[in-house]
């Protein structure tokens, strides 16, 4: 330290402690802090020991009861959480089992039920004397009988091609009962003479085949197109009702193989 012109000058090197000194000081502070914490910990332990030595039997019992109550409360919470989780897991498993059971039952019914479908359509003749009678051949391809069978058929003539019968045509179908059909059994529905069909070309009168015979020349010359359609309804052994629809038309009166299926109304369920 030197005095220049009456001012005090401090040597900077005198203020910087050495590296060893700094490290030693830090170690001393750390040790002092650790000793402080040890002393506090030991004091707390000693205080608890003194309190336990001085507590009365009643205080000791109360303390143990409080500790036990806390542990019981914690155990109850854990048990409740475990119970809720178990319930959710079991509920999910039961739902899955129930769905599997429903799917299995539905699959069993589909496999065992009756299935009535159209296997063939056999035209008998097309002439002015006979009209155009034909046979709809149904077969039960299922494993159980088709019961409570009812059938209906109708026809329509049109000057232009149509996709299938119109909703009013279907609504006016008149159903009659038929016998049950055994598994792999067959049922033949005769349409035309001598069985009457419902004319939907201009009304809902039951006229037999006379109307088609009267229009023979128009149909033969392809000025009119002739359509037949119908529905077979039945019950399976499980009590469900099903239906099979058909729609065919006279594609070419000049050909022997002259039938074709309509674009619509050929389905089963």
73 shares its domain with 166: no
Helix (H, G, I), strand (E, B) or coil at 9: strand
Residue 5 in domain: no
61 shares its domain with 147: no
156 shares its domain with 88: no
134-140 and 147-158 strand pairing: unpaired
225-235 and 176-178 strand pairing: unpaired
Helix (H, G, I), strand (E, B) or coil at 63: helix
Indicate the average pLDDT of the chain: 80
161 shares its domain with 91: no
pLDDT digits (tens, 9 = 90+) for 100-128: 877 777 788 888 999 999 999 988 777 77
Residue 6 in domain: no
73 shares its domain with 174: no
Does residue 5 surpass a pLDDT of 60?
A: no
pLDDT digits (tens, 9 = 90+) for 255-264: 777 889 999 9
153 shares its domain with 259: yes
**What is the predicted pLDDT for the residue at 49?**
72
Residue 43 in domain: no
pLDDT digits (tens, 9 = 90+) for 140-170: 999 999 999 999 999 889 999 999 999 999 9
203 confidence band (pLDDT: 50, 70, 90): very low
131 by Cβ neighbours in 10 Å (0-12 / 13-18 / 19+) ranks as buried
The predicted model scores a pTM of 0.60
What is the domain count for the chain?
2
Could you tell me which residues come within 8 angstroms of residue 198 by beta carbon, excluding any fewer than 6 positions away? 152, 153, 154, 155, 172, 173, 174, 204, 205, 206
Residue 40 in domain: no
88 shares its domain with 191: no
| The pair of three-digit structure tokens given for residue 18, joined into one six-digit string | 């050495």
120 shares its domain with 236: yes
262 shares its domain with 188: yes
Could you tell me which residues come within 8 angstroms of residue 159 by beta carbon, excluding any fewer than 6 positions away? 223, 224, 225
**Structural domain containing residue 60:** 55-112
């Amino acid at each position: 330290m030197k005095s220049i012109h009456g001012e005090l000058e401090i040597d900077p090197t005198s203020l910087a402690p050495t590296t060893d000194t700094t490290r030693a000081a830090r170690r001393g502070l750390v040790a002092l802090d650790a000793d402080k914490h040890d002393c506090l910990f030991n004091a707390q332990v000693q205080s608890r020991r003194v309190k336990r030595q001085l507590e009365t039997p009643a205080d000791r019992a109360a303390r143990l009861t409080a500790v036990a109550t806390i542990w019981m409360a914690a155990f109850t919470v854990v048990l409740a959480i475990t119970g809720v989780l178990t319930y959710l897991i079991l509920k999910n498993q039961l739902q899955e089992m129930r769905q599997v059971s429903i799917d299995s039952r539905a699959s069993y019914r589909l496999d065992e039920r009756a299935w009535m479908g159209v296997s063939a359509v056999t035209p008998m003749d097309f002439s002015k004397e006979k009209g155009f009678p034909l046979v709809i051949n149904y077969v039960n391809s299922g494993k159980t009988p088709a019961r409570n069978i009812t059938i209906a058929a109708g026809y329509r003539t049109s000057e232009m091609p149509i996709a299938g019968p119109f909703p009013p045509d279907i609504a006016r179908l008149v159903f009659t009962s038929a016998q049950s059909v055994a598994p792999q059994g067959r049922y033949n529905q005769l349409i035309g003479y001598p069985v009457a069909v419902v004319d939907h070309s201009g009304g809902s009168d039951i006229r037999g085949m006379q109307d088609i015979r009267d229009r023979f020349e128009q149909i033969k010359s392809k000025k009119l197109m002739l359509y037949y359609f119908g529905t077979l309804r039945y019950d399976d052994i499980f009590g469900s009702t099903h239906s099979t629809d058909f729609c065919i038309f006279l594609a070419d009166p000049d050909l022997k193989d002259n039938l074709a299926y309509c674009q619509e109304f050929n389905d089963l369920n």
